[in-house]
Structures are given as structure tokens and as C-alpha cells.
Chains A and B, each alone.
Chain A
Amino acid sequence: MILVIIAWVMALLAIVAAIYAVETKDLLSSAIAMGIASLVVSIMFLVLQAPDVAITEASIGAALTMAVFVYAIGKTRRWEE
């Protein structure tokens, strides 16, 4: 039961973060929302009994990809036209 509740909350959070990442004009918040989405997805992987994928998703999706995007935004522009 508690797994199902965690799953609902995590899936809702992932969808909200993903929609926000697409819709916002601020690219920095968009990158951070993408990091939140992949962190939540990594928790979902853990609940779905794929711990190795969860470790990879948490470190690459949430940390390194977000850092790459943030540094790229720092080299270009922050606001979408």
C-alpha cells in the first residue's frame, strides 16, 4: 500500500517537473526542474526494484547532466526568447 502511495506522489512530481521544464522561459529553472524530474524517476526505479539503474540515474541524470546544462547556460543566455 505504501509503495503505491509513494508511486503516485513520485509520478505526479515527475510529471509536474517535466511540464514545468518544458513550459518555463527561464532556462536555469528548466534545467533544475529536469534534475528534479530525474531524481524522482530514480526513486521510482528503486521502488520498481532496479537499484543499479537508480544509482546511475541519480548520479548522471540528477547531478552531471544538470551541471552540464547549467555550465552551458552560463556560457550562453539564461532567458528563452
Chain B
Amino acid sequence: MRKYAGIAVALLFFAFSISIFIQLIPYDSYEGSAYHYKNPINGSVANESVPSHYIKETRNETGAVNAVTAIVVEYRGFDTLGEVTVLFTAATGVSFLLYQLHKKMQRREANLITKEGSKIVLPFALLTGAYIFIHGHLTPGGGFPGGSVIASGFLLMLLAYPKFFVNEKRLSYIESISGSIFVIIGLLGLLLATSFLQNFIPVGKPGHLFSAGIIPLIYIAIGFKVGSELSSIVQKLKEVEE
């Protein structure tokens, strides 16, 4: 009975996701009905000034071409600080639970394809991750995706080589330094501009690499932080007790 109910729910979800594809929203249609949100319960029309402000003024105010990044780092920067803290707490919890005094790595040889392929793929994974978080204000992506791409590159090395090991002290230094850079940039905003995480660097030309003020700096810090945290989680899980 439960199985059939599960299949029915899955089919409903399937029909729902197909019905989204039937009316694809084009990129440029924000002038249309996208943000005239009408509440179906009491029939009120939502305050549309905030979303339309984000869409129209982001480029001039922050200099970021990618509006998502501008919202995440600049308009809602304090939320991002909380998000980074959540990830930090998770990594701390994992290393607390899996702490082992006499540890050794699992010794199981990977096959030839994994070994040789990982040598080729690792530089590209690191480069792609760095590209994603450095160009966070220009192209889709940012600190969190870039850091997780870097961590998956390290995961590939951990899978391929039994003796591969990243020094935990170095990982935690990178993590704490980049986390501190995030908070220091925020405090500099409080000092030099009006509020915490406010932009205090000239915005520059939108679309250039050196533009958008503090957004690339913060996203580089977040990229290093997320990458080192996720790498340390995966490495902790790989260790076994002697």
C-alpha cells in the first residue's frame, strides 16, 4: 500500500515538473507578470517595489552583473555570514564525532583508470572551482559552488590514492583566516561606510573583473572557507581507527 502511495506521489511530482517545462520563462521577461505576485489566499497584490528594485538597480548600485550574487553578498550579506557559520558548525561537529587518536587511512588500491584519470581531472577541477568563485559577480556561481567543486577535486584524490593526505592544521588555518577576512571586511564596512558589510570600495565598471566592490573579495574568502571545510569533512570520514 505504501509503495503505491509513494509511486502516486512521485507521478504527481513528475506531472508537476513537466508542467513547468511546458511554459518556460524566457530570460528577459521580467517586465512582464513575473513579479506582480498576487496572493491566492486573500487576493492582495504583494509589494513589488523590492523585487523590481533588485532587478533594475542592482547593476548601478553594486556593479555586479549577476544579481543573485549581489543579493546574497551585499543586500543579504548578514544571512550569508550565518550560512557560513552553519557550515563551520557542521564541520566542527563532524571532526568532534569522528576524532581518533591513532588514525590511519584506508589502504585499498584504486584501479588504474581512477588513478590516472584523477591526475588529469584534478587541475581542471581546482581551476574550475577557482574560476567559479573569482567570477562570482560576473557569471553564475559563487563561493559555495566554487568551494564545493574544489572539495570534490580533493575527494577524487582521496578516492584514487590511499596515502593521499591533507594536513588538517593547514586546512583549519585556511578556514579560520578566510572566515576572519569575511568578518573583517564586514567590520571595515561598519568603519568606513555606514553599516556592517556595506560596500566601501569604488564599484567600477559593471562587467569587468575588478568591479562590484567587496563582492569578489568576500566570495574568494567564502570559496576558500567552504573548500577547506568540505575537504576536512570528507577526509575525516575516510580515516579509520587503527
Contacts and interface: CB of A to CB of B under 8 A. Distances in A.
Nearest to B15: A11
Contact of A56 (B20, B148, B159, B237): B148
A60 B131 CA distance: 17
Interface residues of B, number: 35
B6 A22 contact: yes
Nearest to B108: A74
B144 interface: yes
A19 to B, nearest CB: 7
Interface stretch (B22-30, B42-50, B196-204): B22-30
Given A56-B144, A60-B148, A11 B14 contact: yes
| Chain B contact residues, majority secondary structure | helix
A2 to B, nearest CB: 11
B145 interface: yes
Contacts, number: 73
B148 A59 contact: yes
B140 A51 contact: yes
B152 A64 contact: yes
Interface string B115-133: 0000000000000000010
A68 B238 CA distance: 9
Contact of A67 (B24, B145, B149, B234): B234
Nearest to A18: B10
Contacts of A49: 24-25, 27
B233 A11 contact: no
21 contacts: A4-B21, A7-B17, A12-B14, A15-B10, A15-B11, A15-B14, A23-B3, A47-B21, A51-B140, A51-B141, A52-B142, A52-B145, A55-B149, A56-B145, A59-B148, A59-B151, A64-B155, A67-B155, A67-B159, A71-B234, A71-B237
Given A15-B11, A19-B6, A67-B237, 14 more contacts: A3-B21, A4-B22, A15-B13, A19-B7, A44-B17, A49-B27, A51-B141, A52-B141, A55-B132, A55-B141, A59-B152, A64-B148, A64-B230, A68-B233
